Amino acid sequence: MRIGVLAIQGDVREHILHTEKAGAEALPVRMARDLDNTQGLIIPGGESTTIGMLMAEYGIIDAIKERAADGRYPIYGTCAGMILLADKVVGLSPARLALMDMAVSRNAYGRQIASFEVNLSIDVLGAEPFPAVFIRAPKIVQWGSSITPLAWYEKELVMAESGPYLISSFHPEMSPDVRIHQYFLEKVRQAAALVDAS
Amino acid sequence: MQEQRGTYNVKSGLAEMLKGGVIMDVTTPEQAAIAEKAGAVAVMALERVPADIRKAGGVARMADPRIVQSIQEAVSIPVMAKVRIGHFVEAQVLEALEVDYIDESEVLTPADDQYHIDKWQFNIPFVCGARDLGEALRRIAEGAAMIRTKGEPGTGNVVEAVRHLRQVNSEIRHVVATPEAELADLAKELRAPLELVKQVKELGRLPVVNFSAGGVATAADAALMMQLGADGIFVGSGVFKSQNPEKTARAIVRATLHYNAPKVIAEVSKDVGEAMPGLEMATLAPKDRMQDRGI
């Protein structure tokens, strides 16, 4: 199984290492053609304005949307990646994929001084709490019925999925725990099985 | 568990998010907006860019808080600001202003000729300059969560940036090749804590993100530093001292992303106008060399 990690900017290396540890091959995606032969995509943390702008300029937004059109191309977005998957963004709104029915607010927890880490309980991962790192994190301020909540922190939705798409406002790649990456790989496996069956 | 702020993970984490990006010096909200629009991942709020600090002479200090705040209001990307080496009160002021990163910088006139700031006392992360591995590890030991090789600020001449990055990388290769039993001796030689030297051997790189700074003036300069192994680029005077800041900023951002694609670098380098005027190192008197401050 081959997973692309969008390598425009941000903590690409950490996502590649986590994906490999979780048991798949990981390839950096800098150009649209790098998406070929990938069965899923991870969009890392970074600056969403920068990543979105450069994705649009180099034709990567269109290429991903085309690939995602049949609903069988799983994408996992962390932090900036989550912003790029959202339909709506409050305030300055970067170019993006807009594949999920939700509105997000950038840097909604505040500036860097308000960045934090905390252990979250996430049911789909089992009983063991997950060490979550929030860095200038966005908030999901509104979402539609297609969104399934997966984790909460202080009444804020911080992790969710919708069809083949997975998002978290925190960074699982900043801690040694690879369970969320394993969870995403399972989604990719299921999507691949659907493709094979059709 | 309660949420924890200001942890080293959270501090170095923001630097990880900036990787592959360009951080630009700006002195007004208008410049900050130009930088953000060109694709900068962060801006450094300053009263003067390094080339003008050089020209002005005298003592260079932390920027007026009003300038910092007006820039914070103008952009949504992280805002950094500089303090004098060792001036922990300037750092307290910037923490109170909630800047996202503090640069304890040799570009400003040092306030302490012996000690750097004890950066562990702060919840805001720090970036510090270094010319070699020992210097980088000493700064990390003091709590820096990000390093930038120093280069020679305000010159528009990339030669010192290249020298410093090559120096750090060659010393890292030396550490990796050194047997465990000889590491303590090597740490002494580097004047760096053994624990950090061990970490460098294990990782084969610095334990934190390392950007390149001090002399990048063109798209090709930025790609050069990326090919030499920098995690990202600081551009000081290079953008707003060029003939066409918008185009220069855009070109540097795109060359930093596609640093291994000469055709892209050629494309983005077309018609950007003149780069900032440069300075030859031999014309700098020893007292004007900023890189020798705070080592």
Sheet with A116-120: strands ordered across: A130-134, A116-120, B4-5
Contact between chains at B3 and A80 (C-beta distance less than 8 A) = no
Q: Which of B82, B119, B201, B241 is catalytic?
A: B82
Report percent pLDDT > 90 for chain A. Answer: 94
CA distance B293 to B295: 6
For residue A89, the surrounding DSSP H or E stretch is strand A86-90
B17/A contact by beta carbon, under 8 A:
yes
The pLDDT tens digits for B150-178 are: 999 999 999 999 999 999 999 999 999 99
**Which residues of chain A does B99 touch, with a Cβ-Cβ cutoff of 8 Å?**
111-112
CA distance A81 to A65: 14
- Identity of the residue in A30, A106, A135 whose CB atom sits nearest the CB atom of B17: A135
Would you call A182 helix, strand, or coil by DSSP? helix
The pLDDT tens digits for A27-69 are: 999 999 999 999 999 999 999 999 999 999 999 999 999 999 9
- The per-residue pLDDT of chain A, averaged, comes to 96
What does the pLDDT read at residue B1?
61
The pLDDT tens digits for B181-211 are: 999 999 999 999 999 999 999 999 999 999 9
- Identity of the residue in A9, A111, A129 whose CB atom sits nearest the CB atom of B20: A9
CA distance A128 to A124: 10
The dihedral built from the CA positions of residue A89, A43, A176 and B207, taken in this order, carries a sign that is negative
The pLDDT tens digits for B250-294 are: 999 999 999 999 999 999 999 999 999 999 999 999 989 999 999
**Minimum CA–CA partner of B2 in chain A:** A118
3-state SS of chain B is: CCCEECCHHHHHHHHHHHCCCEEEEECCHHHHHHHHHHCCCEEEECCCCHHHHHHHCCCCCCCCHHHHHHHHHHCCCCEEEEEECCCHHHHHHHHHCCCCEEEEECCCCCCCCCCCCCHHHCCCCEEEEECCHHHHHHHHHCCCCEEEECCCCCCCCCHHHHHHHHHHHHHHHHHHHCCHHHHHHHHHHHCCCHHHHHHHHHHCCCCCEEEECCCCCCHHHHHHHHHCCCCCEEECHHHHCCCCHHHHHHHHHHHHHCCCCHHHHHHHHCCCCCCCCCCCHHHCCHHHCHHHCCC
User: From the candidates A17, A47, A48, A174, which should be mutated to test the interface with B, based on the most B CB atoms within 10 A?
Assistant: A47
- Provide the β-strand partners of residue B83: B104
Q: Answer whether residue A77 shows pLDDT above 80.
A: yes
Contact between chains at B18 and A47 (C-beta distance less than 8 A) = yes
- Identity of the residue in A49, A118, A136 whose CB atom sits nearest the CB atom of B14: A136
- Identity of the residue in A53, A79, A112 whose CB atom sits nearest the CB atom of B124: A112
Contact between chains at A136 and B78 (C-beta distance less than 8 A) = yes
A173 as an active site residue: the answer is yes
A156 as an active site residue: the answer is no
CA distance A193 to A181: 18
What does the pLDDT read at residue B64?
97
Give the ipTM: 0.95
Hey, which residues 59-88 in chain B have their CB within 8 Å of chain A?
A: 72, 76-78
Q: Answer whether residue A198 shows pLDDT above 90.
A: no
The pLDDT tens digits for A143-179 are: 999 999 999 999 999 999 999 999 999 999 999 999 9
A13/B contact by beta carbon, under 8 A:
yes
Name B97's Cβ contacts closer than 8 Å, sequence gap at least 6.
B65, B68, B69, B72, B81
List phi, psi (to 5°) of B44. -110, 115
CATH architecture classification, A2-197: 3-Layer(aba) Sandwich (3.40)
Q: What is the pTM of this model?
A: 0.97
Name B229's Cβ contacts closer than 8 Å, sequence gap at least 6.
B165, B169
